[in-house]
């Protein structure tokens, strides 16, 4: 997969591409990231990329005669072009999975007051990583890139992301490691028994328990399996017994 990032601040991505899973994925050829400074498409000696809003208003707006040529010059018919904007659709794991199947994506980072509205006609999608406002789209594009790259073949072990939170619509089950006992608190016995069937059932049950407690909204439209319904009944009985 190739990821192109259009930004006014390319140096922000140096550390992002030079550490951890992202660096290893690039080194192994799993993905390629190209960071493009779209200020290079500015035509005046001061390299302006923005201007004041028509009819007045606060802030500056990114100009279409700068950004649209930059988009065209850096994309092909196979490029899925995404505007990073708080007005976009809310980013979730299923979107990351869909994007990970693309051959090439472009992430366009806004800045200042926003984009000239005409720029939207030259992209395929608009994405927001949450209901809050950032200084620019750079951090959001890193979030999207990271979430996509870790899903690519050979970026990490497949089993490392298959049980992640949201991957199956639930929050991830609790994780433990050594020491087995610390400060009077022990790792649950079921995780030490070696019975894979019991461990799998415990993990599913605790995923359901955590999701019911912290993100019940994730369960609203879920089609529960027979086993999940049984586990939910067990959880409710256990919680009622604590009252």
164 is catalytic: yes
Report CA-CA distances (Å) from 143 to 13, 139, 190.
Answer: 12, 6, 35
Question: Do β-strands 114-115 and 32-37 pair in parallel, antiparallel, or remain unpaired?
Answer: unpaired
51 is catalytic: no
- Between CA 88 and CA 72 the distance in angstroms is 21
**Of the residues 164, 174, 201, 203, which is catalytic?**
164
**Of the residues 34, 37, 104, 113, which is catalytic?**
113
- Between CA 36 and CA 236 the distance in angstroms is 53
113 is catalytic: yes
**Of the residues 50, 63, 116, 150, which is catalytic?**
150
Instruction: Please give the torsion angle defined by the CA atoms of residues 135, 138, 139 and 144, in that order, rounded to the nearest 10 degrees.
Output: 140
**Of the residues 50, 86, 138, 209, which is catalytic?**
86
179 is catalytic: no
Residue with tokens 């991957």: 167
* Helix (H) or strand (E) segment spanning residue 194: none
Omega of the bond leading into 179 within 30 degrees of 0 (cis): yes
Known catalytic residues are 86, 113, 150, 164
């Amino acid at each position: 997969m190739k990821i192109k990032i259009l930004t006014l601040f390319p140096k922000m991505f140096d550390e992002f591409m030079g550490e951890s899973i992202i660096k290893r994925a690039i080194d192994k050829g799993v993905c390629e990231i190209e960071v493009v400074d779209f200020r290079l498409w500015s035509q005046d000696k001061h390299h302006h990329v923005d201007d004041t809003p028509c009819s007045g208003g606060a802030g500056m707006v990114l100009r279409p005669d700068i950004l649209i040529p930059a988009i065209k010059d850096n994309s092909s018919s196979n490029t899925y072009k995404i505007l990073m904007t708080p007005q976009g659709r809310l980013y979730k794991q299923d979107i990351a999975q869909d994007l990970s199947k693309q051959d090439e994506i472009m992430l366009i980072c806004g800045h200042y007051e926003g984009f000239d509205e005409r720029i939207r006609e030259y992209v395929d999608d608009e994405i927001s990583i949450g209901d809050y406002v950032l200084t620019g789209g750079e951090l959001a594009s890193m979030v999207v890139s990271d979430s996509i790259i870790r899903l690519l073949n050979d970026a990490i072990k497949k089993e490392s992301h298959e049980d992640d939170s949201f991957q199956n619509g639930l929050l991830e089950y609790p994780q433990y490691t050594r020491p087995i006992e610390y400060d009077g608190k022990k790792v649950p016995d079921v995780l030490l028994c070696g019975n894979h069937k019991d461990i799998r059932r415990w993990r599913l049950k605790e995923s359901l328990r955590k999701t019911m407690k912290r993100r019940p909204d994730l369960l609203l439209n879920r089609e529960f399996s027979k086993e999940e319904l049984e586990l939910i009944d067990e959880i409710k009985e256990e919680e009622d017994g604590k009252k």
